[in-house]
Amino acid sequence: MSESVVLQVEGLCFSYPECGVLEQWSAALPAGLALALGDESSGKTTLLRLLAGELTAQAGRITLQGTNPGEDPKAYAQKVFWVDPRSGDLDTLTASGLLDSLSVRYPLWDAAALDAHIEGFALHEHLHKPLYALSTGTKRKVFMAGALASNAPLTLIDEPVGGLDKPSIRYLAQALASQATRSDRLIVVAHYETLVDVPWGSVVDLVRR
């Protein structure tokens, strides 16, 4: 794997019983920002779950900075940030409780960056609330504040603007842009369109099935 490549995916195959999703899918992504672009049911979320190690591919290989999820899942998991914004598994936690738990999980956690994202996403008044009590947009903002502060070498963000107000969308674009020149981190965002003012280094088109 080239030194400039953070994430190498080779021949990835995955299908659900009712349909195929990825067939011999490969990519070599450098550090910076990558957009996984596709329509509804194109496999965007499935791809992120595979990259996170939450799903296991039927074939293929994923290598992140020399680590493979099949060979060393614990080491791989420490390098990846992924929270499914649609899941309710964490809903009993307060927003601050979730963020506190993430700070322990990720060794490169940036507390100063978290403070900036809490301010930028206007989350202060929501930190004491359980996640189940938050709106869809606010819950997403909590997850993205944690994602951006995690400093995880591979950070996965799914459908980032769902439920967000315009100031939060603008802040998100600024926060992502600030990570574009990182040489030690890859942020993969899955969305159905490009986001204005985000300097994507890589764009991966997922064909609608």
- Note the pLDDT of residue 206: 85
Structural domain tally of the chain? 1
Identify whether the C-beta of residue 111 lies closer than 8 Å to the C-beta of residue 138. no
Give residue 10's domain range.
Answer: 5-205
CATH number assigned to the domain comprising residue 138: 3.40.50.300
pTM, to two decimals:
0.94
Of the candidates 156, 179, 182, the residue with the CA atom closest to the CA atom of residue 76: 156
Q: What percent of the chain has a predicted confidence (pLDDT) above 90?
A: 84
Q: What angle (nearest 5°) sits at the alpha carbon of residue 196, between those of residues 194 and 199? A: 80
- Note the pLDDT of residue 1: 47
State the number of CA atoms in the 13 A half-sphere of 4 facing the CB: 3
